Amino acid sequence: MTSNDDSDLIERFKKGDRSAFEAILLRYQDRIYTLCRYMLKNREDAQDAAQDAFLKGYRGLKGFRPESSLYTWMYRIAVTTCLDYRKKSRREVFRSEPLTEDLPSNGPSPEQLYESGEIPDSVQLALQKLPEKLRAAILLREMEELSYEEIAEVLHTSVGTVKSRISRAREQLRHLLKKKFD
């Protein structure tokens, strides 16, 4: 996959060729879905978020500016959509549950999801405990292998902030996984 291929697809889409979007969808669906699976707790939310991300991408593709690459642009939409989903689910929990910390949450904990097979491995289990911004940064680095500059573009922040977030994420994950395996 090269950015030249992406540019061709974007040009074709802008000229009204709908099949170009289908090609973009097929090219990125696995990567976007994987990102959503690791960003969100369960597979239904991940599927809905990935679908929403592509719908948003379709609506915005005509205004896409060629100075950024298509995949960083798609990742940005996916990360924003996942963060919105998490905010939404937090609001729903807030509305449906009394503000008493002693009471257990109705939803399954990451450990329960891990034991049921919903969260497939220890890395994802530990990832669920990271703050969202750190999780997004480390996922883009480790799973998608983006450079610091590309991650900064996706997360709309500076390279320095990206370095710091990835470093903090790694440190927290090291502690979480160490606790689990000790």
List residues near other proteins by CB under 8 A. 21-22, 25-26, 29-30, 32-34, 37, 43, 46-47, 50-51, 54-55, 58, 120-124, 141-143, 148, 163, 166-167, 170-171, 173-174, 177-178
Instruction: Please tell me the distance from the alpha carbon of residue 116 to that of residue 138, in angstroms, as a whole number.
Output: 25
What is the nearest approach in angstroms of other proteins to the Cβ of residue 142? 4
What is the nearest approach in angstroms of other proteins to the Cβ of residue 32? 8
For other proteins, the closer of residues 7 and 147 by Cβ is 147
For residues 85 and 117, the answer to whether their CB atoms sit within 8 Å is: no
What is the nearest approach in angstroms of other proteins to the Cβ of residue 154? 16
Residues 6+ apart with CB under 8 A from 114: 122, 124, 125
Question: Which H or E element spans position 144?
Answer: none
What is the nearest approach in angstroms of other proteins to the Cβ of residue 120? 5
Question: Which H or E element spans position 147?
Answer: none
For other proteins, the closer of residues 45 and 99 by Cβ is 45
For residues 106 and 153, the answer to whether their CB atoms sit within 8 Å is: no
For other proteins, the closer of residues 97 and 171 by Cβ is 171
For other proteins, the closer of residues 31 and 86 by Cβ is 31
CA nearest neighbour of 11 among 1, 22, 23, 20: 20
